[in-house]
Amino acid sequence: MERKLVLLENDLTIWKYHGIPEEGITFFNNTNWGSAGTVYERKNSNELIRLLKDPYLYAIEQDDAIVGTAVFCHTKPLVAGQPYNCFIIRYFAAGASIQGKKIIKHFAGKVMEIVRRDETEKTIYVGCVEKGNIRSYKVVENAGYEKLGLLSVNAFSRFFPKEQKEIERIEHEKDQAEILKLIREQYKEHSLVHTDYLFLKENYFVIREQGKIVAGCQYHRVHWAINKMPGFMGKIIMNILPRLPLINKLFNPKRFEFLAFEGLYFKPGYEKTLLRLFEGLLHRENINSSLFWMAENCPYRKSIVATGHLGLLNSFVKNSGVYIMTSYRNMEQEEINNLKSKPLYASAFDYI
């Protein structure tokens, strides 16, 4: 894979790759994520990274080894139906040799200068920082980003998920087009709506009534290992819950497997049908837990949560969240204000 040198400073270099080289994937596989708050490993990065849409890796290297990364995924999200050029930043990480030093803060700013330098289109740059990770928040803020909103982490779990025989897999282009139309209509007053990761592995499922789709969602299978959780409650969750029969079906920190749901659609009044779809997908994958990300102020999240019956795991994650941080290029203030005024859409694939 070709690479381009974009910065040389002392014994450190920044290289730009279009795509993710194998050494980048190895770096991600050996990285602990979350320098404060919850610290975890992404155990199936090798699979998921290869599914990223149009990624550009900026790698900080020292002695020909990667010590820091940022991946910019190019996409075209909608803001109230209007498309914008956009880069979503993933896998912002520092290796052990530079962690906790001012190096990463300095180079984060340098990378943003490089990325923005030749951009002529109206462009939105989107990053995320886990709630409570003050160190990373300051690094991203120093690189010219401001907080746009908060995504809440929500969980759905069942000890014994039941089969839902009416769930239907979406396989044909005609049905996919119908789903995209329904989602874009439902989220037409949201910001940053992108559907890049819908229909991966044909894992979008629906429930119909009288031939009409009334609920639908995509899932991605995820495997994390949780190494640390903050506070007294974090110690209980890490050390006691895994020893409790039944409860450890929902959460085992050494092997936390879950489904990540996105592209959530439901016809008004069919929230419980959506939850039945969730349960059917857990049963299908022989798994007990799932997570989905939605804006704290999203009316659809409020509607789903208000139905109740999300399961025990939701009480463990109810205070978790992700700050969405943004920077802009060549955009009018009126456009930025419009972006800020609307609830955010979240694609789960951007957070796994």
Which letter does DSSP use for residue 101 in this model?
S
Give the helix/strand (H/E) hosting 315.
helix 313-317
Res 287: pLDDT: 97
Full residue range of the structural domain in which residue 224 is found: 154-317
- Our count of domains for the chain comes to 2
- Do 98 and 26 share a domain, yes or no? yes
CATH number for position 43: 3.40.630.30
- Do 172 and 141 share a domain, yes or no? no
In terms of Cα–Cα distance, which of 183, 153, 188 is closest to 79?
188
In terms of Cα–Cα distance, which of 299, 295, 339 is closest to 80?
339
C-alpha dist (Å) from residue 208 to 169, 181, 268:
11, 16, 14
What is the pTM assigned to this prediction? 0.93
- Do 195 and 298 share a domain, yes or no? yes
In terms of Cα–Cα distance, which of 326, 329, 325, 324 is closest to 123?
329
Q: How confident is the model over 136-150, as pLDDT tens digits?
A: 888 899 889 999 999
Instruction: Give the Cα separation of 344 and 297 in Å (integer).
Output: 8
Band (135; pLDDT cuts 50, 70, 90): confident
Q: Dump the DSSP string for 181-239.
A: HHHHHHTTT-BSB--TTTTGGG-EEEEEETTEEEEEEEEEEEEEEEEE--HHHHHHHHH
Res 301: pLDDT: 97
Share of the chain above pLDDT 90, in %: 72
Q: How confident is the model over 73-83, as pLDDT tens digits?
A: 999 999 999 99
Token representation of residue 123: 């462009």
Is the pLDDT at 156 greater than 80? The verdict is: yes
- Do 52 and 195 share a domain, yes or no? no
Res 35: pLDDT: 62
- Do 159 and 297 share a domain, yes or no? yes
Q: How confident is the model over 304-323, as pLDDT tens digits?
A: 999 989 999 999 888 889 99
- Do 81 and 120 share a domain, yes or no? yes
